[in-house]
């Protein structure tokens, strides 16, 4: 047990002293997750809203596909993205392999079905009387869309935060596509795996504490925004 206590003490020292290596991984994590979330939200929220709001042939099958994609293993996504952006892949000339941008592509693929599926669920749980009531009042389609969007705003927020939690804690994509390069593509999760394997428990615990703080901040934000419902 002594090494665990010692690890926590050294971890606090690393965090409070602003250790460059530790905060390099934190910076990379925030950069990649922000890029991937921007892409997944821009694509996922409209797709999820349409999937939950409109009725069309094949909707049930498409919904099943989106729900299934939520469980995609990160290593599989990493393998596919690696194959596409490697030197022998169709996007190899873009030089995305072992870059933060390449990692963001993989994490956006990971987050998209989460955002889309949970957004669709939020829309489907909307009061079924809202749409016919607004249509009977003669509101425009734009107003109808905006009102419906406001009605499910909290559900969309939950979808976004769930996706953010998924991308910040994944390891497979970051390892395979980013290469875990020190000072460049090493994220919090890949650094924890590496440092723990080397027996550097203090660095691993420090990064783990920071990851917990990020998760706590996300949940605190959700609780705060819930008050405005």
Instruction: Please compute, for residue 40, the number of CA atoms within 13 A of its CA located in the half-sphere on the CB side.
Output: 32
The domain in which residue 90 lies consists of: 21-187
Nearest residue to 190 (alpha-carbon basis) of 15, 6, 4, 21: 21
Domains of the chain: total: 1
Cα separation, 55 vs 14, in Å, equals: 54
Q: Is 219 inside a domain boundary?
A: no
> How many distinct helices (H) and strands (E) make up the chain?
11, 0
Residue pair 174/103 in contact by the 8 Å Cβ criterion? yes
Q: Is 174 inside a domain boundary?
A: yes
**pLDDT per position as a tens digit, 8-22:** 787 788 778 888 988
Residues 6+ apart with CB under 8 A from 5: none
Cα separation, 184 vs 82, in Å, equals: 17
**pLDDT per position as a tens digit, 64-73:** 999 999 988 9
What is the domain-level CATH number for residue 26?
1.10.3720.10
Residue pair 85/15 in contact by the 8 Å Cβ criterion? no
Matching residue, tokens 């939520």: 70
Cα 187 from chain centre:
14
Q: Is 13 inside a domain boundary?
A: no
CA separation, residue 76 to residues 11, 125, 162, 171, 175 (Å): 33, 32, 20, 12, 12
Cα separation, 183 vs 175, in Å, equals: 14
Cα separation, 39 vs 52, in Å, equals: 20
**What is residue 70's three-state secondary structure?**
coil
Q: Is 198 inside a domain boundary?
A: no
Residue pair 124/148 in contact by the 8 Å Cβ criterion? no
Q: How many of the other CB atoms lie within 10 Å of CB of 184?
A: 13
Query: Per residue of the chain (229 residues), what is the pLDDT tens digit?
Result: 676 777 778 778 877 888 898 889 989 999 999 999 999 999 999 999 999 988 899 999 999 999 999 988 999 999 999 999 999 999 999 999 999 999 999 999 999 999 999 999 999 888 777 777 777 777 777 777 778 878 888 888 889 888 998 998 899 999 999 999 989 999 999 999 888 888 877 788 888 888 888 888 877 877 776 666 5
Cα separation, 36 vs 79, in Å, equals: 17
Q: Is 83 inside a domain boundary?
A: yes
Q: Is 211 inside a domain boundary?
A: no
Q: Is 3 inside a domain boundary?
A: no
Q: What is the pLDDT of residue 229?
A: 56
Residue pair 58/47 in contact by the 8 Å Cβ criterion? no
Q: Is 229 inside a domain boundary?
A: no
């Amino acid at each position: 047990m002594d090494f665990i206590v010692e690890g926590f003490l050294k971890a606090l020292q690393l965090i409070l002293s602003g250790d460059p290596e530790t905060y390099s991984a934190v910076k990379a994590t925030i950069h990649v997750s922000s890029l991937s979330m921007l892409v997944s939200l821009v694509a996922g929220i409209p797709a999820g809203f349409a999937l939950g709001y409109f009725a069309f042939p094949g909707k049930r099958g498409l919904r099943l596909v989106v729900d299934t994609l939520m469980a995609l293993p990160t290593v599989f996504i990493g393998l596919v993205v690696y194959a596409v952006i490697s030197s022998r892949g169709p996007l190899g000339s873009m030089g995305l392999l072992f870059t933060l941008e390449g990692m963001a592509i993989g994490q956006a693929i990971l987050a998209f079905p989460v955002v889309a599926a949970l957004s669709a669920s939020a829309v489907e749980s909307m009061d079924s009387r809202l749409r016919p009531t607004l249509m009977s009042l003669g509101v425009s389609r734009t107003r109808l869309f905006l009102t419906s969007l406001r009605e499910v705003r909290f559900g969309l927020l939950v979808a976004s935060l769930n996706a953010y939690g998924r991308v910040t804690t994944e390891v497979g994509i970051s390892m395979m596509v980013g290469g875990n390069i020190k000072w460049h593509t090493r994220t919090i999760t890949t650094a924890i795996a590496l440092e723990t394997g080397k027996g550097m428990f203090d660095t691993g615990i420090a990064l783990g504490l920071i990851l917990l703080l990020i998760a706590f901040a996300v949940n605190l934000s959700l609780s705060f925004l819930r008050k405005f419902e």
